[in-house]
Amino acid sequence: TPESHGCFVMKKTIFIFLTLYCFLAIVIFAIYFFSKKYWLTHMFLISHGAENLKDSFPLNTTGHSQVTETSEVWVNKSAGEEFLGACPETPPNLLGPFQVELETVRTPEDVRKQVGSLLQVGGRYKPPDCISKQKVAVIIPFRNRHENLTHWLYYLHPFLQRQQLDYGVYVINQDGDGTFNRAKLMNIGYAEALKEDDYNCFLFSDVDLVPLDDRNLYRCFSNPRHLSVAIFGGVTALTKEQFLTFNGFSNTFWGWGGEDDDLYNRVMLRIKAISRPYAVIGRYKMIKHERDPHNDPNFNNVKKLQETTNTLDQDGLSSLNYTVIDITKNMLFTFITVDVHVPMGLTKK
């Protein structure tokens, strides 16, 4: 009948209208939801420094310059990190002081099982839930200290992860029996790490030093950072810009001694300030070992310290020469064996 046909048409019209209304409501809600999520994330990143590459936060530190130090902050986003915020200024899972026990016999396999589950090949790590404030290359000059290295890796990987660092560990192994050159190995570590990633902070650490407090942040600051306050030299953090400013370490300190004093001279000549954590935080435990027979004290290095002003520009990264013999990667570190071109007369004792 006409009446029933008219009723059917009206019902059909109402159904189409309601369908379109629901669809439009869903579209509007989706637009609102994602735009709100975007702007909340955008404002979060701004407030936490992700949009300001030189954003920094104050820390109470002391140094030779007696100035207030700040941590240098860079935040680099990669694919899949668009909605991650910057890691907090103070990592939330720090333990503070912790016990270091070096009597237990540890094998590399033991360490891989216990601390390697979160690592990527080559000793690489980045926090899964935030963007690290810096990308840190940890450089270890090395020769014949495998037991020390095993202890160091056991404690330092969890230590660095609690600090929410984006980092990689590079062990720079001097090949052969020639006189050891710790400083040149650190220059080589800097150069080789940059071939792998755009690191902006370099942490140079002796393999026999284990920190005792994870509030001692392994990151870079607006001045060169000496982290092992009770032990001369040992652990130093430098930005790429700082390292370039004083031409890196000297390449000519063969044998034990002098290279840390030379580094201090270089820093004070070009940057004129060094920062340190509080002494109670910058404590370390030294792993016992016998001195390498090819790393005896070199008294000629003392004389070289008087020449830093004149040799700084010619002796360092600008004159670095070496040959890579082998690069091996496992879950705990990248092991780079190099020929440091030991001068004639220093090849064997």
pLDDT band at 126 (very low <50, low <70, confident <90, very high): very high
**pLDDT at residue 20, as a whole number:** 74
Task: Identify the burial level of 159 via C-beta atoms within 10 angstroms of its C-beta, where 0-12 means exposed, 13-18 middle and 19 or more buried.
Answer: buried
Q: What is the pLDDT of residue 51?
A: 29
Rounded average pLDDT over 75-87? 72
Average pLDDT over residues 212-234: 93
Let me know if 270 is exposed, middle or buried by CB neighbors in 10 A (0-12, 13-18, 19+). Answer: middle
Provide the pLDDT for residue 344.
81
188: left (phi over 0), alpha (psi -120 to 50) or beta: alpha
Instruction: State the pLDDT confidence band at 14, using cuts at 50, 70 and 90.
Output: confident
Tell me the average pLDDT of the chain.
83
User: Hey, which residues are catalytic here?
Assistant: 206, 208, 256, 259-260, 286, 289, 291
CA–centroid distance for 296 within its chain: 30
- Band (pLDDT 50/70/90 cuts) for residue 256 is confident
pLDDT score of 82: 67
- The verdict on pTM exceeding 0.95 is no
pLDDT at 26 over 70: yes
In tens, the pLDDT along 316-330 reads 999 999 999 999 999
